[in-house]
Structure 1
């Protein structure tokens, strides 16, 4: 498994719009396309309270490439994005890291993967 850590830094006061887009559109599209999310977080204490951080799980880089391309090209996603940005842009920056487990990785439940 490969995990992708994504951090979206929103423009001031635009984090609620991004969260609403995930809740009302993005997650359903991901379910339809088979994109697996493992969790979402906002920053309680840290450098930016405008961040939405989430983790995706991929079987391979090829799966990520294929499914992410399908997502970006998806008409329903494009419409949801346009609707959510009707009042202006939401995201100032996106940081993405592809992570591979170490040999001592114990999974999310504390058991060997």
Structure 2
């Protein structure tokens, strides 16, 4: 059954030498403050080793709704212990270049079907996919029915497909994938580029809409952090 609620994906562009300090903070110091404020334990943490933001720490939260999210973050940022930790961790130096907060909901086209297979933990991929604005729902259908089955057949595990509701560059779909290794991922996307079913779908979309439903994608290759992993999919 598809989970309800909202997901919050937080991306922190770091100064590279300070990334270990941020991992330490989230692994050891932040969890008690999250619990006290009512911020749910993140489902996963990652750092990025390839993509538009390479010195990046990311994590994802699942919320019942926006009201709960706003109330919990309000309590967190009002906690003086957080600001003490913040000052201690920074030590008077910059850690963060910038942060990005995306609010997501499960794609209307995504139906999570547990396979029972062990989760690939060596390599994850975050893909932010631009969609045709006047046909965003049909674009989600195309991703769920054409593109994702193609790469699943090539070895991917689809952790979730989401509709971005808050953030830049809307409309966008956000996909989280798991791969056994980099070679499998590279081969899968090469196969996707020439797959007859994918090509036929894009041709049909261009005939109907004048262009493809699924546009360009930003891809981030992620290493799951060894702490706090609770991911079970969307």
TM-score tier, shorter chain, comes to: 0.7 to 0.9
Which of the pair has the greater relative contact order for Cα pairs under 8 Å at 6+ separation?
Answer: 1
Residue 18 of structure 1 deviates from its aligned partner by: 1.2
Task: Indicate whether 1:78 and 2:167 are aligned.
Answer: no
User: What's 2:163 paired with?
Assistant: 42
Residue 40 of structure 1 deviates from its aligned partner by: 0.6
Residue 96 of structure 1 deviates from its aligned partner by: 0.7
Task: Pick one of 60, 75, 97 that aligns with 2:220.
Answer: 97
Task: Pick one of 47, 52, 73 that aligns with 2:173.
Answer: 52
Task: Indicate whether 1:66 and 2:221 are aligned.
Answer: no
Q: Which segments of 5 or more consecutive residues in structure 1 lack a partner in the other structure?
A: none
Asked if structure 1 preserves the Cα contact closer than 8 Å seen for 2:146 and 2:201, the reply is: yes
Residue 46 of structure 1 deviates from its aligned partner by: 2.6
1:14 match: secondary structure = helix
Between Structure 1 and Structure 2, whose CA radius of gyration is higher? Answer: 2
TM-score using structure 2 length: 0.42
Task: Indicate whether 1:28 and 2:129 are aligned.
Answer: no
TM-score using structure 1 length: 0.79
Q: Which segments of 5 or more consecutive residues in structure 2 lack a partner in the other structure?
A: 1-121
Asked if structure 1 preserves the Cα contact closer than 8 Å seen for 2:125 and 2:177, the reply is: yes
Q: Alignment RMSD, CA only? A: 2.1
